Amino acid sequence: MNKAGKRSDCIGTYRKKVGLIYNPVAGDRGIRNKIDYIIERYQKKGLQIVPYRMSGEAVDDAFRDITDNPGDYHSIIAAGGDGTVHRVVQCMMDRKVKLPLGIIPAGTVNDFAQALGIPADIEQCCDLLLGKIRSMVDVGRVGDRYFINTASLGFFTDVPYKTKINYKNVLGRAAYYLKGIEELPHFRPIKMDIAYKGGVISDQMLFVAVLNSNSVGGFNRAAPGAIVNDGKFDVIALKFCNLAELLPMLIKFLMGVHISDPNIYYFQTEKLTIGCEGCSATDLDGEAGPKPPLDIEVVPHALEVIA
């Protein structure tokens, strides 16, 4: 006990634990070379890093001790890309784990970390994670699945998980763009119905993205007005258009001025349903999502993050 009668993070040999769930093949695989540095930084603060190597789809083993002994833990860290963060958030929400979540952006694309302003430099990142700043952020829910950054369906949706991991390791986010270009000859309209509080949209679409942050696919101007804790999604739906119309629109997208394009539907909402004809691929934070129709809602201020 300290003078105030509260147990500190380090008393004698007692150390609060920090669950580090890392993806060894994320990004350029460089996170494997940074584990010792992370342990050292936390150890100096009287905190014990408990590393869990994420294997395949499973992170359940990492949460067994965390769930059974939450009082022993100071926080959880997800080290990897958006898919890694997604799986950790899914487990935290499923198991109602209320610990703060830290993110080390080590993936090919780190949209949510970028939206939160988390630096990629490991020294600066540890400075942030060992600091006192905390924020409550919204989480999206689709049935019994959760997402922290993006739910999407339509064309381009399956690019993240169809891109070979070796290409991602070598080329980085350029591997996604090249895969997207490869898919261009398969362009086709998808009939979608989007129902939300403001009405119903029925049209031939290419793509719909439901965003919790301003960043998707490495583009941090996807939804310029998005805020991660405002209790609302920013929804962007791209109408079907020919290639001559699509390319100028993509340039506007890069510049962050696409919202006013006539081929774009844009609105904010707390809840929506998206149905489509002949559309099976959906995506949650870069991972394969459930089959449509999708009933999507905000869970406001559901997660505490260190950022």
DSSP summary character for residue 212: S
DSSP state of 184: G
The pairing of strands 47-53 and 14-22 is: parallel
Q: DSSP character for 240? A: P
Measured N-to-C along each axis, helices 35-44 and 122-129 cross at an angle, to the nearest 10 degrees, of 30
Report the C-alpha gap between 250 and 258 in whole angstroms. Answer: 8
Question: What's the Cα-to-Cα distance from 56 to each of 24, 95, 102, 120, 286, rounded to whole Å?
Answer: 10, 20, 21, 24, 14
Q: Which of 40, 57, 182, 287 is catalytic?
A: 287
Residue 287 annotated to the active site: yes
Tell me how far apart the alpha carbons of residues 118 and 113 are, in angstroms, rounded to a whole number.
5
Produce one character per residue of 125-142: b if its CB has 16 or more CB atoms within 10 Å, e if not: bbebbbeeeeeebbbbbb
Is residue 292 within 8 A of residue 254, CB to CB? The reply is no
Question: Distance between CA 88 and CA 117 in Å, rounded?
Answer: 19
Asked if 191 contacts 278 with a C-beta cutoff of 8 angstroms, the reply is: yes
Task: Please state at what angle helix 60-68 crosses helix 82-94, rounded to 10 degrees.
Answer: 40
Q: Which residues are catalytic?
A: 287
